[in-house]
Amino acid sequence: MARITAGLATSHIPAVGAAIDLGKTAEPYWVPTFAGYEWTKKWASAEGKPDDVILVYNDHASAFDMKCIPTFALGCAEQFAPADEGWGPRPVPVVKGHPDLAWHLAQCLILEEFDMTVINEMDVDHGLTVPLSLVYGQPEEWPVRVVPLAVNVVVYPPPSGNRCWALGEAIKRAVESFPEDLNVQIWGTGGMSHQLQGTRAGLINADWDNDFLDGLIGESDRLRHIPHIEYLRETGSEGIEMVMWLIMRGALGRRTRMLHRHYHVAASNTAVGHIVLEPET
């Protein structure tokens, strides 16, 4: 049987990807950002190495636009190319999928009444590739297969935190009914507090962000009830990306244990947050 062995969440700031691609990670501005991923990189190359990652992220008008806005879309293809976001595709490997696992997830989730969109062709943008770079560096090939789960958090209305948490719970059941013996991780990306435009551009709420990180650890499920308006008011217009972390948290079961945690302001205009969790039975 397949099992979810860990959950990881991280911001997916495009400038962080560019710093990696352009060899700038040792520059003083970037050192505190990347220092918080050193523990994770070591762990990910040893006991924290899964077969597959279910990678929850949002597309930023790269694969989808106003013509088509799936709330939850599962990438079922053999592979996913890095998207061209205006400066050419990032110089990172093609992302290898896992169609058997992805279709199994689609079947289980849809029969559990989550109306997933099945995607058989999709380029993946910084939302998905920056987290891979943060954890795996600059390899020739990514060391894991990835099932992309794209969530709409760009166009109103995004799914509620409660719905995201419940989807995570259903993903846990779906993974555990996959017959192969697989070590699966689930990652949530985006956040933490950020607003990229308007008069509140650059808004950071470190107290709120750290309270959100606290809420992912242990047994409480208080985070699932945070309304959209609170993300918007407290964490800026793009802070709503954090509902994707709740899919990851929901998939870890009743109780979690923290393995690692990192928070840094500022890289770009955005608070960098990162956490690694284990399900605790």
Give catalytic residue positions: 126, 194
User: Of 135-143, 204-212, 246-254, 266-274, which part binds ligand DHB (CB under 6 A)?
Assistant: 266-274
Binding residue for ligand DHB, selected from 15, 94, 217, 259, defined by CB under 6 A: 15
* 242 vs 215: CA distance, rounded Å: 12
Place of tokens 């050192």: 31
- Confirm or reject binding of residue 14 to ligand DHB (CB under 6 A): yes
Site for Fe ion in 170-229 (CB under 5 A): 190
Classify strands 145-151 and 52-57 as parallel, antiparallel or unpaired: parallel
Beta strands in the chain (DSSP E): 3-10, 52-57, 72-75, 79-80, 95-96, 117-119, 145-151, 183-189, 256-267, 270-279
Q: How far is the CB of 97 from ligand DHB (least distance, A)?
A: 22
Interaction pattern, residues 38-77, with Fe ion; x per rule: CB under 5 A: ----------------------------------------
Tell whether residue 268 is a contact of ligand DHB (CB under 6 A).
yes
Q: Where does this chain touch ligand DHB (CB under 6 A) — which range of 12-20, 202-210, 221-229, 250-258?
A: 12-20
Segment 169-228, which members bind ligand DHB (CB under 6 A)? Answer: 190, 194, 196
Span of 24-32, 78-86, 211-219, 268-276 interacting with ligand DHB by CB under 6 A: 268-276
Can you tell me whether residue 55 is helix, strand or coil? strand
Please tell me whether residue 12 binds ligand DHB under the rule CB under 6 A. yes
DSSP state of 33: H
d(CA 193, CA 236): 6
Cβ atoms of 119 and 77 closer than 8 Å: yes
H or E stretch at 249: helix 243-250
> Where does this chain bind ligand DHB (CB under 6 A)?
12-15, 60, 190, 194, 196, 238, 241, 268-270
